[in-house]
Amino acid sequence: MTVQDFIVLYNETFKFIEKNYGRDQVDDLWAVISREWCTHLRDLVAEKGMEGMNAYWGGNSGTLSREKAFYDIELKDGVFTITMDECPSVKEIRERGFTVYKDYCEHCIALYGPVVADYGFEMKSFIEKEAGTDNPTGKCKLVARKAGANV
Amino acid sequence: MREIQGNGRRQNGGGMDLAAIKEWFGLYNVIFNWFEKNHGEKGFMAYAAHIANTCYPEVIEDFKRGGLEAVKAYYEDLFHKDDGQIDSYIVDDVLTISVNKCPAYNFMKNSPNPHFIPTQKVCRFDEIVNGTLAAKSGMVFEQKYTGHNGKCIWEFKKTN
């Protein structure tokens, strides 16, 4: 098996699970992935808080650069923001001729939200969709702040 | 807390293709274990078959057109990109691929994540996907295990 095809398989995995076992099983898988796969993010946030988020996603060694995403990251006034201008996953799925699972973009907040919440941060995602459809445009924002903070 | 601004790739212009990251090998493992735990061996097998039948239409067409040489080129490229090591050769209409370093196995064995323990399901997934691609391309596939150590032998044979 290869990671070169992973995103296409990942997308089809969600479709297969919803069709055969229901939407709640997709949520169940995401919860397990959050616990069992997101351990590096967990370690970084536990050690460095918001700067750990930047270490995970940002810079040359962060996952977004390594995935060649077109994005920006800002940490300002206690708010950590990823602005995704062109999600590499959504782009890859479409370019390879597949339909993006209707809730594909929800997996990010489902995976990362619970991890950062364990260290006192609240994370929200804002997903842009094509007008009148469930189709994601590949643009979104992921915003984290200290839970309860008035910033 | 220091402020960070403009820490991204916007300034580089975008439009680049996605690059795979090795952590996804571990994610495969988590997904396979989830299937087995929640839906049993039957659920895992059905999932692997669905992936094999859904995700590779262009690969199958390439195999149909190019035969064993196309299969050989495909896997040589994938193993190179994934940092694996294989020996591959075609003799008497049989393509043999000796997997000397399985990239998935090696990534997981060297990861500190306790959930990245490679199981036989990783090998089984390859067997189902490769078997399906072969069958749809006029070939048969056999996977010979040489011990669960990141090494195995694949054989593709033409059937017509």
Backbone angles phi, psi at B81, to 5 degrees: -65, -35
Would you give per-residue pLDDT tens digits along chain B (160 residues)? 667 766 666 644 455 666 777 889 999 999 999 999 999 999 999 999 999 999 999 999 999 999 999 999 999 999 999 999 999 999 999 999 999 999 999 999 999 999 999 888 999 999 999 999 999 999 999 999 877 788 999 999 998 6
B153 close to B129: Cβ distance less than 8 angstroms: no
What residue ranges do the domains of chain A occupy?
3-146
Domain A3-146, what fold?
Answer: Muramoyl-pentapeptide Carboxypeptidase; domain 2 (3.30.1380)
Going by the DSSP 8-state scheme, the letter that residue A55 receives in this structure is H
- Tell which phi-psi region holds residue B61, choosing left (phi > 0), alpha (psi between -120 and 50) or beta: alpha
Amino acid in the structure at residue A84: M
Q: Which domains does chain B have, with CATH numbers?
A: 22-158 (3.30.1380.20)
ipTM of this predicted complex? 0.91
Q: Whole-prediction pTM value?
A: 0.91
Contacts of A19 in chain B (CB under 8 A): none
H and E: helices and strands count for chain A:
7, 4
Q: Scanning every residue of chain A, which has its alpha carbon at the shortest distance from the alpha carbon of B12?
A: A70
Taking each helix axis as running N to C, give the angle between helix A23-36 and helix A6-21, from 0 to 180 degrees, rounded to the nearest 10: 140
Q: Which of A36, A56, A66 to mutate to test the interface with B (most CBs of B within 10 A)?
A: A36
What's the residue count for chain A?
151
Residue A77 DSSP SS3: coil
